[in-house]
Amino acid sequence: MTGLSGDSIHRGNLLFSGHAEKPDQDLKRGANITNLSDRFDIKQYLLQGSSDIVGLLVFEQQITIQNTLTRASLDSRRMLDYQKKLQAAFKTPTTEEPEYDSVKSVFEHTAQAVADDLLFKDEARLPANIQGSPTFQKAFLSTAIKTSDGKSLKDFDLHGHLFQNRCSYLIYSESFRSLPAPLKRQIYARLGHALRPFASDPRYAYLDSEERRRILSIIRETDPKLWSALAPAMSEIPHQQTAQSHH
C-alpha cells in the first residue's frame, strides 16, 4: 500500500515467512510508504511503483456496495419466484408486489440494507492526513457524472470521510437499475425519507441538512428519472407531524 496515512498504521507492505513463529509487529514500518520499488521488481506490474491508499479505500467501498446489490438482486428474485409458485399452487392471482409475510420481510430487510450501504451508514471515520495519488484521483473523477457547476457523487473529502456527498455513485450503476421494480420502489421510499429536507429518517441523522441538500441537488440534475422516483417519499408529510397538526 502506498500513500500517506498520518499516524495511522495498517498491515500493508510487511513481509514475513510463513514459518515464522510471530509476524513482525512493527506495523509503523509499513505505513507512509510512497514507492514500492525497494521491496520487489515493480517492472513486472502496471502499478508504476504504487498501490494507492485512496484507490484501495474506493475499491473496498465499491465492492462492499456491489456485493450488497448482487445479494439484493438474488434474494428478491428468489422470493418473487417463491411467491409465484405459491400463487400458482393456491390458484390465486399472480402479483408483482410482495404479498406473503415471508416475502415482505425479505424485501424490507433487503431494501434497508441497500439504502444503508448507498448512504454510507456506519461508515468508519477516516484517520487524519490521508493522502493518495493525485493521478488516481484525477482518473477516478474523470468518469464522474457532474452537475453544471461541477459537483458529483464522486467528489473526495478525505477529511474524516471518503466522499463529500455520502450517497454512492453506484446508484447510477446497471447493478442498481436492474434490481426488481418492487424492490427498487421500497429502496426509493427509504432514500427519499432519508434525504428529504424536513423530518428525515432519524436512522440517517448523520447526514446533516446541507449534505442532504447537496446530494438531492446532484441527483436532480444528473438523473431526473431517479429524482422523480425519490420525489413522492420526499413530499410525504410524516404521520407524527400529521397527527400533531390535527391535534
Determine what percent of the chain falls in helix, strand and coil, rounding each to the nearest 5: 55, 0, 45
Can you give the three-state secondary structure of 48-91, one letter per residue? CCCCEHHHHHHHHHHHHHHHHHHHHHHHHHHHHHHHHHHHHHCC
- What is this structure's pTM? 0.88
Q: What is the DSSP letter of 49?
A: T
Q: Are 76 and 110 contacting, i.e. CB atoms less than 8 angstroms apart?
A: yes
Residue 140 and residue 72 share a domain: yes
H runs (alpha helix) in 11-52: none
Range of the domain at 161: 53-211+221-237
Q: Is residue 247 included in any domain, yes or no?
A: no
Residue 95 and residue 73 share a domain: yes
- The pLDDT value given to residue 247: 41
Q: Is residue 194 included in any domain, yes or no?
A: yes
Q: Share the mean pLDDT of the chain.
A: 90
Residue 125 and residue 71 share a domain: yes
Residue 187 and residue 138 share a domain: yes
Q: Is residue 243 included in any domain, yes or no?
A: no
| Residues 119-175 pLDDT 10s | 999 999 999 999 999 999 999 999 999 999 999 999 999 999 999 999 999 999 999
Residue 8 and residue 26 share a domain: yes
Residue 58 and residue 40 share a domain: no
3-state secondary structure (DSSP) of residue 188: helix
Stretch 6-25: mean pLDDT: 73
Using alpha carbons, select from 1, 6, 58, 9 the residue that is nearest to residue 35: 1
Q: How many structural domains does the chain have?
A: 2
Q: Can you read off the three cell numbers belonging to residue 227?
A: 429524482
Residue 169 and residue 135 share a domain: yes
pLDDT at 243 exceeding the cut of 50: no
Residue 233 and residue 129 share a domain: yes
Q: Are 34 and 5 contacting, i.e. CB atoms less than 8 angstroms apart?
A: no
